[in-house]
């Protein structure tokens, strides 16, 4: 991954400059609330997938469609703002969540602003009108799926019998489809064939699911000062993650941890999961998804960008924050 990390850093700098240009120093509390999480950092992974997918189809095209890359970051951030409201979280990217720094109505509206502007930025890309219509359609479908996925995730809170298939369907909609849209939109705006666009969409879908599984591991294993999130929030809330499901299958009941926990109690839960082989099983599942996703890239001609896409999938399941 010697070239991947510098590439991701360069994309992040480009996106950060665009955020500064379009969102920072705008007057009004709602504009400040909308920019709050955008300016708090972030790895800008979805924009990177947009740009790599575009360049894998047509080298050099990423600069023509960089506004679409920003659109995916706006969409992602809107979902974070609304998720934090629904989950009652107080920390995100190391700063106060929007609804706690302002109030819940402002948080809802701040997310709505980013959602609306995402479509505006896709339309600013240098591409054919037909391609832009297809890209807008793909993003709108992804947003609808994300809402369904979030609703499924919330409904799981009332159950203790969610199975692996149900979990994967939820994660596909809540997280996978936005990475799928990132790859598909990059391909479409760069002028890909339908076959290439589909291959990249499926690549993004599988790596996106793997990304969420790794996120569930990070929630449990990574300290808050490194992750920028409340540590073990999923465990404390009794969320139906793949960790929870595989633990239940092996007779380990994590519901006993559904309460406020000390760091020592969290460490005890991690030891129990490690001893039962759960953590290893979940990590293996995520790696297998990445292996499947990379097969879809065989439809693209060999290139540096295709190689970086393969490496980004591996990065998704090895990162620790």
Q: Which two tokens stand for residue 320?
A: 């620790």
Q: Which two tokens stand for residue 281?
A: 């099983």
Alpha helices in the chain (DSSP H): 4-23, 29-36, 45-57, 66-87, 98-101, 104-122, 129-156, 164-171, 177-189, 194-221, 224-227, 233-237, 242-249, 263-275, 278-295, 304-316
Q: What is the pLDDT along the chain (321 residues), one digit of tens a residue?
A: 679 999 999 999 999 999 999 999 888 999 999 999 999 989 999 999 999 999 999 999 999 999 999 999 999 999 999 999 998 888 888 899 999 999 999 999 999 999 999 999 999 999 999 999 999 999 999 999 999 999 999 999 888 899 999 999 999 999 999 999 999 999 999 999 999 999 999 999 999 999 999 999 999 998 877 776 678 989 998 889 999 999 999 999 898 998 998 989 999 999 999 999 999 999 999 999 999 999 999 999 999 999 999 999 999 999 888
- DSSP class of residue 90? -
Decide: residue 256, CB within 10 A, 0-12 exposed, 13-18 middle, 19+ buried: exposed
CA angle 13, 141, 190 (to 5 degrees): 50
pLDDT score, position 230:
72
Report yes or no: 149 and 82 within 8 Å, Cβ to Cβ: no
Distance CA 257, CA 254 (A): 6
Nearest to 92 by CA among 220, 233, 243: 233
79: Cβ contacts below 8 Å, ≥ 6 apart: 111, 146, 150, 178
Q: Within 13 A of 248's CA, how many CA atoms are on the CB side? A: 17
Instruction: Tell me how far CA of residue 155 lies from CA of 77, 116, 151, 159, 245, in angstroms.
Output: 22, 27, 6, 7, 15
Distance CA 204, CA 201 (A): 5
Report yes or no: 69 and 11 within 8 Å, Cβ to Cβ: yes
225: Cβ contacts below 8 Å, ≥ 6 apart: none
pLDDT score, position 228:
65
Q: How far is CA 90 from the centre of its chain?
A: 19
Distance CA 157, CA 319 (A): 27
Which pTM was predicted? 0.93
Give SS3 for 65: helix
Domains, the chain, ranges and CATH? 4-316 (1.10.600.10)
Handedness of CA 281, 287, 293, 298 (dihedral sign): negative
- The per-residue b/e assignment along 33-43, b for 16 or more CB within 10 angstroms, e otherwise, is bbbbbbeeebe
């Amino acid at each position: 991954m010697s070239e991947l990390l510098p590439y991701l850093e360069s994309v992040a700098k480009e996106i950060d400059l665009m955020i500064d240009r379009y969102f920072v120093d705008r007057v009004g509390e709602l504009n400040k609330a909308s920019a709050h999480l955008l300016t708090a950092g972030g790895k800008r992974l979805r924009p990177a997938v947009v740009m790599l997918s575009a360049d894998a189809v047509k080298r050099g095209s990423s600069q023509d469609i960089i506004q679409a890359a920003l659109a995916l970051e706006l969409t992602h951030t809107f979902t974070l703002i609304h998720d934090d409201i629904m989950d009652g979280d107080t920390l995100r990217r190391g700063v106060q969540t929007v609804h706690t720094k302002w109030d819940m109505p402002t948080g809802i509206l701040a997310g709505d602003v980013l959602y609306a502007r995402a479509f505006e930025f896709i339309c600013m890309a240098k591409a054919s009108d037909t391609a832009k219509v297809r890209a807008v359609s793909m993003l709108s479908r992804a947003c609808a799926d994300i809402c369904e996925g979030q609703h499924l995730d919330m409904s799981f809170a009332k159950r203790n019998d969610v199975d692996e298939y149900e979990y994967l369907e939820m994660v596909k909609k809540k997280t996978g489809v936005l990475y799928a849209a990132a790859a598909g939109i990059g391909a479409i705006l760069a002028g890909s064939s339908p076959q290439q666009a589909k291959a990249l969409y499926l690549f993004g879908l599988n790596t996106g699911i793997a990304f969420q599984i790794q996120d569930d591991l990070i929630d449990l294993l990574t300290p808050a000062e490194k992750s920028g999130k409340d540590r073990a929030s999923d465990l404390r809330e009794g969320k139906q993650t793949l960790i929870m499901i595989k633990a239940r299958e092996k007779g380990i009941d994590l519901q006993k941890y559904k309460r406020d926990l000390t760091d020592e109690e969290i460490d005890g839960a991690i030891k129990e999961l490690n001893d039962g082989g759960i953590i290893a099983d979940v990590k293996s599942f995520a790696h297998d998804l990445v292996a499947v996703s990379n097969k879809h890239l065989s439809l693209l001609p060999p290139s540096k960008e295709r190689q970086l896409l393969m490496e980004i999938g591996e990065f998704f399941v090895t990162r620790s924050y």
